[in-house]
Amino acid sequence: MIIAFRTPKPSVFRLKVGAAFTLIELLAVIAIVAVLAAILLPALAGARERSRGVYCLNNTRQLTLAWRLYADDHEGLLPYNLVMSEWSPRTNVNWVNNVMSWDLNSDNTNQATITGASLGPYVAGVTSIYHCPSDQTLSAAQSAAGWSQRVRSYAVNAMVGNPGTNSAGSGNPNNPGYRQFFKLEQMPQPTEIFMFLDEHPASIDDGCFLPDLAGMGWQMNGVPVSAWKELPASYHNRSAAFSFADGHASLHRWQNSTTLAPTLPYTPAVVAAPVVAGALQDFAWVMGHLSVED
Residue 219: per-residue pLDDT:
52
Q: Compare 285 and 225 and report the one with higher pLDDT.
A: 285
Q: How many CA atoms lie within 13 A of 108 on its CB side?
A: 23
Please say if the pLDDT value at position 158 is more than 60: yes
DSSP 204-250: --SSEE--BSGGGT-EETTEE--BBSS-B--TTTSEEEEEETTS-EE
Q: How far apart are CA 118 and CA 94, in angstroms?
A: 6
Burial state string for 106-129 with b = 16 or more CB within 10 A and e = fewer than 16:
ebbbeeebbbebbbbebbeeeeeb
CB neighbour list of residue 222: distance below 8 Å, 6 or more residues apart: none
Among the listed ranges 9-18, 125-134, 138-147, 244-253, which one has the minimum average pLDDT value?
A: 9-18
Q: How many CA atoms lie within 13 A of 238 on its CB side?
A: 8
Residue 36: per-residue pLDDT:
66
Closest listed residue to residue 109, CA positions, set 148, 139, 60, 71: 148
Residue 272: per-residue pLDDT:
55
* Band (271; pLDDT cuts 50, 70, 90): low
As beta bridge partners, residue 219 has: 224
* Band (15; pLDDT cuts 50, 70, 90): very low
* Band (64; pLDDT cuts 50, 70, 90): very high
* Band (13; pLDDT cuts 50, 70, 90): very low
Residue 85: per-residue pLDDT:
87
Q: Number of helices and strands (H, E) in the chain?
A: 4, 7
Q: How far apart are CA 104 and CA 249, in angstroms?
A: 33
Evaluate whether 42 touches 224 at the Cβ level (below 8 Å).
Answer: no
Closest listed residue to residue 289, CA positions, set 178, 123, 171, 164: 178
Residue 233: per-residue pLDDT:
93
Among the listed ranges 7-11, 107-111, 161-165, 275-279, which one has the minimum average pLDDT value?
A: 7-11
Q: Compare 262 and 80 and report the one with higher pLDDT.
A: 80
Task: Read off the pLDDT of residues 139-153 as tens digits, 9 standing for 90 and up.
Answer: 999 999 999 999 999
* Band (222; pLDDT cuts 50, 70, 90): low
Residue 220: per-residue pLDDT:
53
Q: State mean pLDDT over 275-285.
A: 77
* Band (174; pLDDT cuts 50, 70, 90): low
Residue 229: per-residue pLDDT:
81
